[in-house]
Structure 1
Amino acid sequence: MSKSPNDKSIGKTMRYNIPQDDNQEIREILQQVYNALEEKGYNPINQLVGYFMSGDPTYITNHRNARSVIRQRERDELLERILKSYLENNSLS
C-alpha cells in the first residue's frame, strides 16, 4: 500500500502565519461591531463567539453596517488579534 503525499505531514506541526496588518483597523472593526450589537440589545460577546465559531454572518446585526464591516477581514485575522491582545494583557506572551 503506497502512502499519499499527505501522509508525510502527519505528526508534524503546521505553521500558521497571518501577515501583520494594521492592528488599529482591526481594533476599530471589532469596536464598531461590538457597539452595533450592544445598541440593538444583543450580548456582543455571545454574538461574536457565534460568528467566529460558525462563520455565519447572521450572528452579526446589519445595524450600522456591522455585518459588512466585520467581513472586511478574515475571521482568523480577527481571532489572532483578539488572542494576541488577551495574552499580552494577561502576561502570557
Structure 2
Amino acid sequence: MSNLDKTMIFRPDQESDLLLEIIEKVIPALKEQGYDPSRQLAGYIVTGESNYITSAHNARATMAKIDRLTAVEQILNDYLKLKGLS
C-alpha cells in the first residue's frame, strides 16, 4: 500500500524538513549558474514564475515540489523564531 492510500496528518516540522531539503538542493544549483539565490528564490516565491529557478541539476522541478505559500509561511516562521518574536 502506498502513502497515498493513507490519511496523512499535517505536521509543520515535516514541511520545514521538506523545505530545507529542497532549498539545500536548489541554492547550489543557482550559485553554480552565477545567480544570487536570495533574489532568485524571492522572485520565484513572489511571482510563481519558474524561470527564476535554474533547470540545472533539476532545481526547477525540485523547487516546484513545495507550495509557495507554504514556503513563505515556513521562512517567516523560522525568521520570527530566530529573532525571538514567536
Per the normalisation by structure 2, the TM-score is 0.81
Q: What does 1:9-20 align with in structure 2 at a 5 Å threshold?
A: 19-20=10-11
Unaligned runs of 5+ in 2: 1-9
State yes or no: 1:52 paired with 2:53. Answer: no
The ranges of structure 1 where at least 4 consecutive aligned residues each deviate by more than 4 angstroms after the TM superposition are: none
State yes or no: 1:89 paired with 2:66. Answer: no
Which is higher, the Rg of structure 1 or of structure 2?
1
State yes or no: 1:78 paired with 2:66. Answer: no
Distance 2:52 2:62 in 1: 13
Letter in 1 for 2:11: Q
User: CA RMSD for the aligned pairs?
Assistant: 1.1
How many residues of Structure 1 are paired with residues of Structure 2 in the alignment?
75
Per the normalisation by structure 1, the TM-score is 0.75
Deviation at 1:26, TM superposition (A): 1.3
Distance 1:83 1:20 in 2: 17
Higher fraction of helix: 2
